[in-house]
Amino acid sequence: MGPPATEQTDVRRTDVRNDSTYEVLGALAHELRQPLSNIEAIAYYLSMILPPDDAKIQPQLARIRELVEQSNLILSDALGLTPAPAAAPQPVAPGA
């Protein structure tokens, strides 16, 4: 005999929450990567047109590129998380 119906319902709810969480996380990562790509492109463009020997500008542009890279790594790490495995029903001995 399987677990009580309420336990099965709880497992299904957990699965749905996990699926929904990862869908939202994926959509959020996608929406954040687009502006990050734009910021990175702008920093690259500015580094090409601004004086390369400017001691104030170039380090700031490098910092922007570094922060964009860190942000992308954070998003990739978050998406690399695997969903929690669904709880498997456990057999219960009669009368236990």
pLDDT at 59: 92
Q: For the segment 45-87, what is each residue's pLDDT rounded down to a tens digit?
A: 999 999 988 889 999 999 999 999 999 998 888 777 555 555 5
What pLDDT does 11 receive?
Answer: 47
- Residue type (1 letter), 49: I
Q: Which of 7-11, 36-40, 69-73, 79-83 has the lowest mean pLDDT?
A: 7-11
The pLDDT of residue 93 is above 80? no
Q: Please determine, for residue 37, whether its predicted confidence score (pLDDT) is greater than 90.
A: yes
Structure-token match 């939202």, residue found: 24
CA–CA dist 48, 12 (Å, integer): 54
